[in-house]
Structure formats: C-alpha cells, structure tokens
Structure 1
Amino acid sequence: MDGEGYSDGAKIYNSNCINCHGTPDLEGSLPTASKFWQQSLKSGSDPYSMYQTISKGFGAMPPQLSLTPKQKYNVLTYIREQYIRKGNPEDYFTITPGYLSTLPAGSLTGPDSEENQPWSEQDYGNFFSNTIELVDSETGPERYHSPGPVPYADEDYSKNNFAYKGIAVRLDEGEGGVAKGNSWMIFDHDVLRVAGGWTGEGFIDWNAILLNEQHETYPRTVGKLHFETPVGPGWANPKNGSFEDPRYTARDGRKFGPLPREWADYNGLYHHEEHIVFSYSVGKANILEELGREHKNGQTIFTRTLNISPTSDILKMRVAPAQTKVGIKGKGASLSTENGFVIMTIAKSQKANVKLFIANAENTVMDEVVRASSGPESLQKYTSGGKAHYPEVLTTSIIKGSEDKLLAIDQLTPPFDNPWNCQMKFSGIDFIPGGDEAVLCTTDGDIWSVKGLSEGNMFLKWRRIGAGLFQPLGIKVIDGLIYVSCRDQIVRLQDLNGDGETDFYESFNHDHQVTDHFHEFAMGLQTDSQGNLYYAKSGRHAREALIPQHGTLIKVSKDGKESKVIASGFRAANGVCINPDGSFLVTDQEGYWNPANRINWVQAGAEDKFYGNMWSYNPPKDTTRLAMEKPMVWVDMEFDRSPSELLWVDSEKWGAMNGSLLSFSYGYGKIQMVLHEQLNGQAQGGVIDIPGTKFYTGVMRGRFHPTDEHLYLCGMAAWSTSSNVRPGDLYRVRYTGNPIPMPIEMHATDKGMTLKFAEKLDPKSATQITNYEVNTWNFIRSSDYGSERYDVTKREVSKVALQADAMTVDLVIEGIQPVDAMTITYSLNSTAGVALQGTVQSTLHTLAKSN
C-alpha cells in the first residue's frame, strides 16, 4: 500500500469503479453505490473488509473477478487515500501492528498485475462502426461533461466533430484489423461525408460503455488529424446546390438523423477481400466509393475513389477545408473553392470516375504522388463477393445439464479461444430455417453462425460470418435473411457468392437518430405477422431527451422505408416482446423517474401513450402518475436489478408451462415467470424465479427453437450485472418433466389472492395459514434515482381455501388494496411430497369483485 499502488489504483478506479460510484464532482451511474467521501461503508472500512467486499461482492455490487489480489489492494488504497481520508476522515481506518496481527496468514501475493484491454486487442476486421469524435491528440479540445446536479445540462458541442454514424476504415495493410492500423478515414453515413483522416498508433481511445465500460463518454481518435470536414451534409442538395442542413434541430442547436432520402440515401457497405466500398445515392445518381491512401517519404495522402452514374442534376461534394491540399485524377468532375471549402462538382448528365487526393498543408509530396498514381478504378468488380475473411470453423463442446431439476441447462460453449480475440458478448439470437443452425450477434459488432444444434450432437461448429457493426442488440431471420438491429441502422446481411460470409452489409433502414450519448441503445428486434419490425430506443441517462427517438418504441415498415414512434416514455427498454394479440411487452430499468424496474404491457395503437420517464422526449406537463401508463409489474430490485426481454413459451415439451410468459434477467442471470392477468382493462401481475436457473452471464435474449422446441438463451456481461463469470455465453434450456414447484397463475380479488399451481397440493400444508406470508409496500416516483420501500406492511392471511382441482388456493388477505408491490411467500408440499417453496412479487392496480 504505497505510492505505486495508489497510482495503479487510480487507473483501476477510473476505468471500473467510477462508473457506478462516481466522484465528489460527478455522480456515478448507480446512485445507490457507496459514496466513499461521505458515507460509512456498510461492509467495513478496514482494508481486509474492503478486500473481501471487492472479492465477494456486496449488495448490488458483483464480485470483481478480473482483479488480481494486488490490484484489489491497489484500488482500495486509492479509495482510502483519495476519498475516505480527504473527504470522510472520521471513517478512515488507521492500520496498526495490532490490526495486522489479526489478519489471516498467507504465503503468496498473487500473480503480477497486467493491464487487460480486450476491447483494443480484438481484430474487428478492417472497418469499425461507432460514434467517434475526430480530434488531434496534441491540439484537440479537452473533454468536457456538464457537472451535476441531474439532469445534467447540455454541453456546448457545436464545434466538436462527431461522426455520429461513423464507419472507420483502416487504410494501411497488415494483420490485426482496424485496431492495429496506423492510417484511417471515417465515413459518416448519416450525411454521406468523409469526416476526416488521421494517422498514428492506437486508433481510438476506446472510451465507451460497450468497449472499456466507461460511462458518460464516447470514443475519440488517437494520433494526428490530417484533415476534417464539419458535421453536416457531405453532398449539396441536388435540387438547389445548397449545403444548408435540413435535419432535426435539437435543443442544443445540433442536427441529428439522416438526410432526406430524396437528397441522399445510404445503401450499405461491400466488403470484398481488402476492399471496403460504400454504396449510396445522391438525388438519382448512384455512387460507389472506396477510401484509401498513398504513402511516400513517411508522408500520407488520403484518397477517395468515386464511381458516379449520370444524373440530370448538378452534384457538388464538400471535400476538405480550403487550406487542405487536394488533387484529382479521372474524368467527369472538377475542383473549385466555395465558402472556405474545396468542392468537387459533377456536371449534369456526366458519368464521373475520379480519384481524390487529400493531405494536410505541410505535405511536400502531394504533387509527385498525384502524378505517379494510377487513375481511378472501377469499383463494380468489388460488389459481387470475394474470398472469405473468416473461413475458419471452430469446434466447441456441448456440456449437458443435470436432469434432476425443473430445467436442464446445456452449456453450448462459445469459442472463447478464437483467432480474432473476440469476447463473444452475445446480445441476440435467432434460427436459420432447417433447424440445425442459429445466428448470434455480439455487442462488439460480430455476427456468428453456430451449427450442430440437433439433439444428440455433442459438438458445435462456429463461424464468424460478419463484423464491424455498431453495437448490435437484436437479430432476426426473415425469409432466410439475417437482419441485425444496430445503434445506427437495421442491417440486412447479404452473402453474394454463397460462401457463408457477409459480402454486403445492406442498410435496410437507417432512420435512427444517433447522438454522442452513451446510453441510447437500440434494443431488440422483432417482427409482427405483417412483416413490420420493432425495436426500442433508450433515453439518455441522467439527462433530458435531445431527439424525438429518445425513450421510444419504434416500428419499421416491412420494406424498411418508414419508421414510426408508437410509444414513448421509456428509460432503458432492453428488448421488445410481441404478444399474440399484436400488443407489446417492453421492460424498463430502475432509475430517474423510475422508482423500480418496470414490465410494461403496451397496447397496439398506443402512439399517444406515455410510460413514465419524464426525461424521455416530449413528456406530459403533469409529472404525477396520473399522466403515465401503469406498468404491468413494478419489479423490486431484490427480485431483478435489470430485466431484459420477455418471451412467450411456445413448446409442447414444456408441459403445464406452455403458453406461460418468461422474463429474462440481465442483472441477476436468471429466468422468471410472469404471472399476469387483464382486469378491468388493466394488465397486472407478478414475477417469480424459476428454481435452478442461474447463469454465468446476464441473460439478454431467448428464442424457442421451431424444431426441437427447447429454449435457447444468449447472454453477456458488459453493463453492470451480478452474473459476470464469462463475457458471454449460450445456453439450451430443456424442461425435464420434473414437478413444477411454483404457481403458474395468479389472480387478485377484493378478498385476497388466488394462486394456481401446476401440481396437486397436499391439503394440510396448502390450507395451513402459517405456510404463507404476505407483505406489501409502495414506491415514490420522482426525479430521484429509484425509490426506497414505503408503507411496508405485513398483511394478515385470515383464511386459506383449496379449490376442487386441488391445485388452486384462495388466500383471504385482510385489508387488501391496490399496491405497488406485494410478496406472497409460500412453503407447501404437493401430494407427491415435493416441496413447493418460493416468493411471488406482484403489482396490484385493481381488484376483481369476488363471488
């Protein structure tokens, strides 16, 4: 515990702990996390107690399994010296020889600490999609984030150069993909501009929640920025030649979203061996573009090769600021200067094939390089598929789960040991027609195929079939084609030459409005019976909405040409479930304006319905509960700290559970059953843990296999979760036929609660009042983060009756009334002697009249 340890601890705290705990000047993302500078530590403030807390976890904090013993002591040294001693000295524990003598003896200090940065070691391929700010490492502006209190004020980012839908392309040759390069350009497909070019070592600084897990930040370029273009249209309006930006203007003056389709439209990206070719249109002109570089005497010249079809409009493209050196080779276009920028102009009815050369003002070899360079090539040859980038097929084993519980959980082992150092953080799953193959997406931008799902197989064959996408969090197979929901677009993967790998990343829909904020995930992907697609867009964390899509449920038309907000008021809606009647189930997370986690039943045609988060876009003026739709269930943090997606059981093999509703827990890595009812036009219900379902990761998505009828789950550990043993995982969940030790229905009346079990109940235990305990409490909804429990009351069960089916019990509960949270804890036996023990946590909005 010395100066070196303090310095290393500062790095660990500021890359891991600060996310939840924050600092005295900037509140962490989890307000319930300890504030060391003003609070006593509940688990003890002496070093050994703190070490145990870091090692084993405490409360909502999971064990920090990735830290070595030295790193744990280093970070607690930093916390003690930086925060407790300075801001909370009365809680500072003084180490004495007497204290040291009480500690358990040891003989080892643990392994040497190594800085683990898997996000920067991954081979993403030669392109990488994200919101990236272009800066020069030496002359760029300092990062700035508005301080508290919440909601944080908008920053003045009017002069920051964000590529909101940035696709960074590596230009130099070599192994390791985009992260290991030394020359890059970035294409912003929102506005069809090349945002800039840079060189150096390091690519980007990796500051992002789904990269190095940093909150309240975004990635920046690392190295020398040679040139840049401002945020705005890369091409002028073909109808009038103006670069005036017509897009949505946010409260802070910035523009967001894509250009109008009649002006410009992004089609997608071809990946042909080492060539990356963008396809888009400006007006009625079709354009193919490839980014590249020339290199001479240690100096870099960036190039853009463009093939442009004829059109009746005059086309103008903004190339670079006027002080930048720009050259051109080819036919059909010319260069000029306009309003401080070099402009490329294509005359009416002219076909243009050109190569642009761009360099900073200090470049001394530009003219020589332009003269020596070959002219523009035709890019059409790169649009039909080439040699596979990831031909390797990786084999892993299936570890069969135990059959002695309600559900057997088979481990479908991912290929953690792979040539590209992929972390396998799975965020979506679906099946290819035929039954043996699934496809999965990861938050790092990968798409994987896994074959061998047929029953009886003991091995799986994995293949990476795509990469480089922007935070995929949903995947769906429609008519044999793979659709991926990303933060910037819905991508349709096209295999053009039948080799099993993606050759064209088609932009099926890119109406997405993307800002720099870390929290605005695009969650899940589902389709209805008409072929329309749906996903949820999260709001900003600790901030008011900036764009109309913040905190919404979005419908995309079957042809991908139109997007529409169909419900609003969400905070962090991790997934969408479509109900048989066409309505939706959308989860939401505890936070500001959400006193607890929510499961929302969203009726079809609910465009004017608001679901509670006052910091989503265009909330009602009324901040009370009267102005919001009630959740089906308020889910208390004790029962789930972060629900993800819901799924209806569609499997005859699941016996009495077929037709039930499941809720997947990202926060605790488990499955819950949702006991629901529609009463007086209001959905309400409760959640109950399915016994024995504990996973190595948080659970993100699930699908029932159409052939074997088993449940397949994928999960990851990227945000805060208590299940973080692995970065990602895949599971097959099978019903074993064993007794179902839990209720499968629940109903509320003005006399009490009715629980229906799947097993016949022993009459003596079922009617014993002392075998039940009922507690209720309420939450306070406010702008505070979450809520404590209020009005906690133990309710008297005055009578229990067993119905004629021997599976249903009626509990008469004194003083029952609508309440935010009710728990019914039971300890019963079935007639077969099976112990039935558990707790249902429910929400009651209304009560049925009893007979």
Structure 2
Amino acid sequence: MLLRAQDNPFYRLITLPIPEGIVLEGGGLTTLPSGDIALVTRHGDAWIVENPYMEGNQPPHYRRFASGLHEPLGLAWHDGTLWVTQRGELTRLWDKNGDGRADFYESVYRWPLTGNYHEYSYGPAVGPDGQLYVTANVGFFNPEWWRGQSEVPWRGWTLRISPSGEMEPYAAGMRSPNGYGFIDGEFFYADNQGDWMGSGGLVHLEKGDFAGHPASLRWAEHPQSPLQITQADIFAQVDPQLTPEGAPPFKPENDPDGAVLPLYELARELPGVKTPAVWLPHGVLGISTGQFLADTTEGAFGPFAGQVFVSDQGQSKISRIFLEKVDGVYQGASFGFFDGFASGAMRLSWGRDGSLFVAQTNRGWGSTGREPFALQRLVWTGKIPFEIQAVRAMPDGFELSFTRPVDKGTAADPASYALSSFIYKYHPVYGSPAVNLEEGQVRYAEVSRDGLKVRLVVDGLREGYIHELRAEGVRDYTDGQPPLHPTAYYTLNRRPQGDTLAIPAGARAAHHHHPAPAEAAPAPVPTPRPRPAGQLAKNQTTLPAHWTEGPDLTIRLSTKPGLQFDVQDMTVEAGTRIRLIFNNPDDMPHNFLLLRPGQADKVGKAALALGVKGMAMDYVPEMDEVLYHSKLLQPATNQTIYLEAPSEPGVYPYVCTYPGHYVSMRGVLRVK
C-alpha cells in the first residue's frame, strides 16, 4: 500500500517556509543544544534556523551564520562549535565575539583536490571518542569518464581526524559515500550504485576495511594506509576491463551470460573486504542514498526505536532498516517507510521533540520531488501503523515482529507469504541487475500467543544473499488491513546456529507459486495486443523491410545533466517514418519511452513497481500505453530505433523511466 504524503495518517509532513532569496539547498544539517537547527547549503552558506517548530504559530527565523564555504556536504555540532566538511577541508566555525555570526574559520585539516566535479567530501561524523570522520568521493576524468579514479590521496577513503588536526586513513573502497555516521557507537557508511557498486547499502566499517571500489587502493601501500589489500589482489579475482594502452577508450558493459562474482564471494577469498550489512535494492528502496540516522527518540517517532532511517535523494523518500548481529556480524532487513518529500531527501536530524528534520536539494542530481530545495519536518501523529517491525534470522527461517497484533488465521497460513533471493554482480560496470534469482518456500508459520510475532520455517536460505520476504496475505487483527509496507529485504550475511522449529504433524503447508521479486505486487496491466503484420515492434532496431525508401526523418536525441533530454519539444506530421538516434552522454543510465497522451505518470509509476526485476526489463513495463522504447542505455552508449508517428494528432509524451527520473525527464512529440 503506497500512501501519498498528504494522506498518511501516521506521520505528518510539515514544510518550513523559506524566505524569498534564500537558496536552501541542504548539504548538511544538525540540531543545536537550544533545539534550533543549523544547516549548510551547497552554495556555501551556513544558516541557523530559529523556532523551526513554528511555535506560537510563528514562522521560523533564518540567520546567516557563515558564508563563502566550498560546497559543504556535512555539518556537526561538537565541543561547543559547528564543524563543516568542505570539498577539501574540515573546518571549525567559531563565533568568538558572540554576535551570532562566525568570525573565525579554523582550518582543522586539508586534503588535496584535482578540481574534478565529482570530488565531493562528506561529514564529519563525531565518534564516541571525539574523533571526526570524513568520507570522500572518487573522481571521474576524461577520456574514461565512466571509471571512478582516485587521482590524489585520499579519494574513496574514510579519514579519521582529531580535533587538533591529526589525520589517519581509516578505511577504503568507497565510491560516493554520501551517508556517514555512528550506530550504537560503531561507524557505518552508505554508498550509491555505480561502477563496482551493484546497488546502495549500509556498510559497517572498521579500521582497515575495504568496501569494494578499487580506485582507492591506489594508496593502499602508502605508509599511512591500514589496508592489507591491493589493487592487484582485486584485479586477480575480477577483470577491471581497462582500456589497453594505445587503444581508444573502452567502456565496460554488463555481460548477461558472463560469470557472476558477488562481493560476498570476494570477501571469502580476501579478508578485509567488507560487504553491506544491509543492501538497499536499487530502484526499490532508492537510487541515490543520502543520510542515515539511528532512532534515538525512545518512541517519540513511533514504534521503531533503535532502528535506522535512510534518506534517498533521487527518490525523495526515507527507508527503514532493522539491524542485528549474528556471530558478531551486522545484518538485517530494509523496508519502505515514507515517500513524497518536496525535493531530494539529503540530510536528517532529530528535533528536540523527536520529530525528524529533512534538508533537501535536487540541483544537478534530479529527484522525484520537484522542488529545487526544501526543509521539511516529519512528525509522528501518535497512531501506530500496521507494519513488519523487525525481521530476525533463524536457523531455519525468519521471525517477523509486527507493530500490532496480526489476524492469526492469515498469519499462520504459509500461503500469506512469498520468499525469493537474489544478489548483485561485483564488476566494473555501472550497477548490476539482480542476478542468481531463486524462489524459496515458506513451509510453516507459527504465531505467538500475543499475535505480535510469527516464526517462519522456510526452504531456500542462502548466505550472502538478499532475501525478499513478502507478507501481503497477513492481516491486522483489528481492521483486517495488510501491512503498510508488506515487503522486507533481509541481507543474510550469517545463518544463525541453534535449534530449528519442529513442524507439527498435519500443519498447513504452502500451495502457491511465488512470484519473482518486486517491491510489491504491481497493479495488473493489460497484456499487449499482437501487432499486425507490417507494424513496427516497440523496440525496432533495424530498418523496417517495408520502408523501401528509408525514413522520412532522422531525429537525434541526447540526455544532458540534471535529468533532462536535450530536446523537449518536437513536432511531426502524423504517420512520419522516424529514425531516432538516442545518445546517452550522461553519467547514469537512461531510456526513452514514447507514450500515449497523458500517460507519463501512470507508466513511470508502473516502471517503479517493477522493483528488482526492473533492470532486466530496461525499466519498460509491458503495457499498451507504451508505444515505442529504447533499451536502457548505460553512460556513453547509444541506440538507433525506428518508429512511426501515431496516425491520430495529439501531444505524445516521451519520458525516461529509470527509477525516479520520470517526474522531471520528459518531452513531448506533437503530432499534426
């Protein structure tokens, strides 16, 4: 069940008004001891927002605290002052004369930059010992601009810095580590899909760990490096597909028939490789991971105390994670939580009342939320949603905890559940489809006396894999409704040891066929009608035989940064035979779909509902509303397709349906 933000009875979304002239593109956010909040913007300003709770029905007051910062993407309050991470520096902001404005910018520690656009830096996260942790992106350089590189120390690393400015490299293998922070005193980071990164995820990092992206290993043998892994170790296991010396640039592409090496298998061969504690399936629980934050509100934010909330900039949403330790290793389940923020959900901070502030931005990155920036506050209404509260691994299956008692009849029926598992490739290609998909079976379900827990005995557990567990058939005891978010994605890094559950004789067994993985069962879509002889295929890549005189018109269409087509309005005559050359010079995947009039939102949402199946389907849903489409183009690739303009005049939208793109990446074909 997907609730619109304005219709959610459990959490209320409040938008803070922003005065005209203030461009509040949130790069960092923290709550001050007074309860006010501090925020840094990508334009380089630091603001103090007073009365962010709008008490007394009064608007918040914005006070500029600092300016001239270099694209800061993190902020923390520590030891009586604000600390901010700029692109190349950890800076402490002092207000020494007490006038409410920073008058001394202390350079705590600087690291080198090349000037590359992608060399973002994030943080700091303040550790229990008072040390400050900063994470750094890799860069992307011509001519192989698709390959993340670490041209200067310490791109792709986490750095641990003392308040006095002493730095030690802590861990490596990051690509775009936008998420950073501490959970129960342990350091975690969150990355985004890209080269060498099949999907986003939450990773527990200890000193000397390697998280997967090999560019950072350029500095593995530096005297300060704590790593025991080198690039040669990685490339001995996985072909990096580097361009041969003297040859034209060669961009790696996914080989659907090639060997599959998941990251967890590499970790078995190379100690020190760290896999995600919890994967966030790409396109399902986000596309561009932002900040994560442990719930320390002791119940003021609802029935999820101690769990972790993760923002997603691209899909303008927040997901939820339940963590546990098995044999000393973190693992757990990820769930949907809240959709519908105004812009890209970037940074999170708890308010003094247990509400959640969300700083947002989408300039250059795009988001499903259409506003260029926003500051919003999410407040629990006091009503408890019916949700899967937690999923715990058991020797023979899983134990589900619910926020409210279940209907025991539906919860005890194995047919109320579906189980499947999958994983991602570890390779130098941008992202990965879900691979090695297998269906499991729920053999038995035992409900606790209070109706708050269900123990499942299953077949098909696989260590190292993501297990999609759907509980769509379970109903709430009180009102008969299904869980608000009925799907959990459990990352099984370790299978627990211990006693298994004895299945009583005559117990109900499942008698259903499990569907392939998806975020939720999408609404039925019509089966496409067969096309008459001579009618073009939806993805026609060869010149149609009956076009004896060739196309009437050639159109060249490209993507450009900021989730846009370079041409957004075209006019043709009805029936025009078109050769469309679609080029993707952007740094992320895109596709092209020509649709029936007025169907852009419907098709975009259907593409999102494809879930983990989406990449294998090029994020093109099978529905009559789609007239023609390209395949999903990876960066620096192109495809030529042939299409005929519809015979009926009208305005036909074209969109990119890669997750989160359809809201803003659009154009129209006007047929006369």
* 1:440 equivalent in structure 2: 39
How many angstroms does 1:496 deviate by?
4.3
Q: What's the CA shift string for 1:620-642, capped at 9, x where partnerless?
A: 43224233212112222122111
| SS of residue matched to 2:55 | coil
**CA distances 1:492-546 after superposition (whole Å, capped 9, x unpaired):** 2233443322333222x13322122221211122212332211111122413322
Residue 570, structure 1, aligned to residue 174, structure 2: yes
Q: Where in structure 1 are there 5+ consecutive unaligned residues?
A: 1-400
5 Å-filtered alignment, 1:628-667, equals 628-639=273-284, 640-652=286-298, 653-667=300-314
Q: Residue 544 in 1 paired to residue 192 in 2?
A: no
Q: TM-score, normalised by structure 1?
A: 0.50
What is the alpha-carbon distance in structure 2 between the residues aligned to residue 719 and residue 809 of structure 1? Answer: 45
Given residue 759 of structure 1, which amino acid in structure 2 is its aligned partner?
A: R
1:690-725 per-residue CA deviation (whole Å, 9 max, x = no partner) reads 1x43211121111112x3222111111134343341
**Aligned counterpart in structure 2 of residue 622 of structure 1, from 233, 248, 253:** 233
**Taking structure 1 as reference, are residues 737 and 835 closer, same or farther at Cα in structure 2, changes over 3 Å only?**
farther
CA contact (8 A) 2:42 2:73 kept: yes
Q: Distance in 2 between matches of 1:457 and 1:535?
A: 38
- 2:30 is aligned, of 430, 454, 472, to 430
Give CA-to-partner distance per residue, 1:348-391, whole Å, 9 cap, x none.
xxxxxxxxxxxxxxxxxxxxxxxxxxxxxxxxxxxxxxxxxxxx
Instruction: State the AA in 2 paired with 1:844.
Output: L
Deviations 1:768-808 (A, max 9, x none): 22221222112221111111122222222222111233111
Q: Is the 8 A contact 2:85 2:123 kept in 1?
A: yes
Distance 1:404 1:787 in 2: 33
Does residue 785 in structure 1 map to residue 430 in structure 2?
yes
Structure 1 SS opposite 2:438: strand
**Which of 8, 12, 17 in structure 2 is aligned with 1:413?**
17
**3-state SS, counterpart of residue 765 of structure 1:** helix
User: Aligned to 2:488, what secondary structure does the other structure show?
Assistant: strand
Kept in 2, the 8 Å contact 1:776–1:819? The answer is no
2:482 to 824, 835, 840: 835
Q: Alignment partner of 1:697: what SS?
A: coil
CA deviation digits over 1:469-489, x for unaligned, max 9? 101011112233222111121
CA contact (8 A) 1:751 1:850 kept: no
Of 336, 347, 350 in structure 2, the residue corresponding to residue 704 of structure 1 is 350
1:638–1:403 distance in 2 versus 1, CA, 3 Å: closer
Aligned residue for 2:139, secondary structure, equals coil
Question: Using the alignment, how far apart are the partners of 2:279 and 2:482 within structure 1?
Answer: 28
* Whole-Å separation in 2 of the counterparts to 1:660 and 1:442: 28
- How far apart are the structure 2 equivalents of 1:533 and 1:774? 41
d(CA) in 1 for partners of 2:56 and 2:213? 47
For residues 396-419 of structure 1, the C-alpha deviation after alignment (integer angstroms, 9 at most, x for no partner) is xxxxx869522111111222x12x
**Aligned equivalents of 2:135, 2:87: Cα separation in 1:** 10
Is contact 1:438-1:451 (8 Å) kept?
yes
Q: CA shift at 1:451, angstroms?
A: 0.9
CA distance in 2: counterparts of 1:665 and 1:565, whole angstroms? 27
- Matched to 1:465, the amino acid is F
1:819: Cα distance to partner? Answer: 4.2
Measure, in 1, the Cα distance between the counterparts of 2:24 and 2:129.
Answer: 33
| 2:214 partner SS | coil
CA contact (8 A) 1:481 1:493 kept: yes
TM-score by length of 2: 0.62
Q: Which residue of 1 aligns with 2:410?
A: 765
Quick one: structure 1 residues 781 and 487, their matched pair in 2 at CA, closer, same or farther if it must change by over 3 Å? same
Q: Judge conservation of contact 1:530–1:558 (CA < 8 Å) in 2.
A: no
Residue 338 of structure 1 corresponds to which residue in structure 2?
Answer: none
Q: Counterpart of 1:263?
A: none
- The answer on whether the counterparts of 1:426 and 1:441 sit within 8 Å (CA) in structure 2 is yes
The Cα offsets for residues 149-186 of structure 1, whole Å up to 9 and x where unpaired, read as xxxxxxxxxxxxxxxxxxxxxxxxxxxxxxxxxxxxxx
Q: What is the alpha-carbon distance in structure 1 between the residues aligned to residue 438 and residue 349 of structure 2?
A: 39
Runs (4 or more) in structure 1 with deviation over 6 Å come to none
Tell me, yes or no, if the aligned pair for 1:598 and 1:634 is still in contact at 8 Å.
yes
2:189 aligned with 1:586, yes or no?
yes
Counting only pairs closer than 5 Å after superposition, residues 56-71 of structure 1 correspond to structure 2 as none
Structure 2: how far apart are the matches of 1:453 and 1:543? 39
SS at match of 2:415: helix
Distance in 2, Cα, partners of 1:644 & 1:805: 37
Provide the rounded CA distance (Å) in 2 between the counterparts of 1:577 and 1:642: 17
Alpha-carbon distance in structure 2 between the residues aligned to 1:718 and 1:528: 31
Could you tell me which amino acid in structure 1 is paired with residue 73 of structure 2?
Answer: L
Q: Is 1:798–2:437 an aligned residue pair?
A: no
Mapping of residues 276-355 of structure 1, within 5 Å: none
Q: 1:741-776: per-residue Cα shift (whole Å, max 9, x none)?
A: 222221223321221111111101212222212221
- Superposition pairs of residues 719-738 of structure 1, within 5 angstroms: 719-738=364-383
Q: Within 2, Cα distance between the matches of 1:536 and 1:442?
A: 18
Q: Classify the secondary structure of the residue corresponding to 2:101.
A: coil
Alignment partner, residue 420 of structure 2: 775
- In the TM superposition, what is the alpha-carbon distance from 1:616 to its structure 2 partner? 1.8
Q: Is 1:516 equivalent to 2:115 in the alignment? A: yes
Counterpart of 2:166, as a letter, is: E
Contact persistence 2:315–2:369 (CA under 8 A): no
Partner residue in 1 for 2:73: 473
Which amino acid in structure 1 is aligned with residue 232 of structure 2?
A: K
Q: 1:602 aligns with which of 205, 209, 220?
A: 205
Output the CA distance in 2 between the equivalents of 1:753 and 1:719: 42
Cα distance in 2, alignment partners of residues 567 and 410 from structure 1:
38
Deviations 1:534-592 (A, max 9, x none): 11111224133222311111111022x21111111111100311122x32110011111
Change (3 A) 1:849 1:432: closer
1:461 — aligned with what? 61
Partner of 1:845: 493
Report the residue type matching 2:100 in the other structure: G
- Is 1:526–1:576's contact at 8 Å kept on the other side of the alignment? yes
Q: Is the 8 A contact 1:526 1:578 kept in 2?
A: yes
- Summarize the Cα distance change of 1:577–1:753 in structure 2 as closer, same or farther, 3 Å threshold: same
How far apart in 1 are the matches of 2:183 and 2:148? 31
Distance between the aligned counterparts of 1:809 and 1:622, measured in 2?
44
- Deviation at 1:655? 4.0
Tell me the alpha carbon deviations over residues 598-631 of structure 1, each in whole angstroms, 9 at most, x when there is no partner. Answer: 210113xx2x211111122334432242332121
Check conservation: 2:134, 2:160, Cα contact below 8 A. yes
The answer as to whether partners of 2:179 and 2:189 remain within 8 angstroms in 1 is yes
Match of 2:395 among 735, 750, 754: 750
Query: Structure 1 729/686 Cα, relative in aligned 2: closer, same or farther at 3 Å?
Result: same
- Count of residue pairs brought into register by the alignment: 438
Aligned residue among 676, 682, 700 for 2:329: 682
Partner residue in 1 for 2:586: none
